[in-house]
Structure 1
Amino acid sequence: MVRLPLTPAEVERGQRLGALLRRARGARSMLEIALDARVSPETLRKIESGRVATPAFSTIAAIADVLGLSLDEVWTEISRPDGEVEPAGPARERLVS
């Protein structure tokens, strides 16, 4: 199967997803979050860095659950235009404290 190249919008959405997950993870280690979400640390690293711009739904759902993010919060955050970068839910609370 040949995978089509990502569109610029998909790449940007992947970068926003990675930034959201990094903010939500806060001081917790990537290894801890990956193990709790049952994904490899390498997968989490690639998602957080934007190298995997379109991860599987189940992967994002598991990571979001471990980070205390709802899928609605994740979708709202990654769907924002570039100028709007306000963290959602628990990520916002961690940034303030």
Structure 2
Amino acid sequence: MATAQDDLDVEKKNWHWRNSMRTVRFFNLDARAALPFFILLVYARPVTIILTLMITIMFNILERRGLSVPAALRKFRCWIVGDVRLAWYYYSYRRMRDYG
């Protein structure tokens, strides 16, 4: 069995400055996915409760698949835009200009 000292040693290993890069967690969920809970605090209605639960479950499923919240939003944006993009015309490219 782990003693209290062993638990303290494990926690000390996690107290390093490089761990400041880790994502902030809110009840084992990415804190950015917890935004609907704050909206729920302001506007507590049955519809808001249902939307909050649906969004939380959706982000939890995406996180289990390996997508963080920003990566999931980027993937959703790419899905909306689609694969076919407009081509850049030659005259649309930026060029160096000398106005002096």
Give the TM-score of the pair, scaled to structure 2: 0.28
Give the TM-score of the pair, scaled to structure 1: 0.29
Larger Rg: 2
The structure showing larger relative contact order (alpha-carbon pairs under 8 Å, at least 6 residues apart) is 1
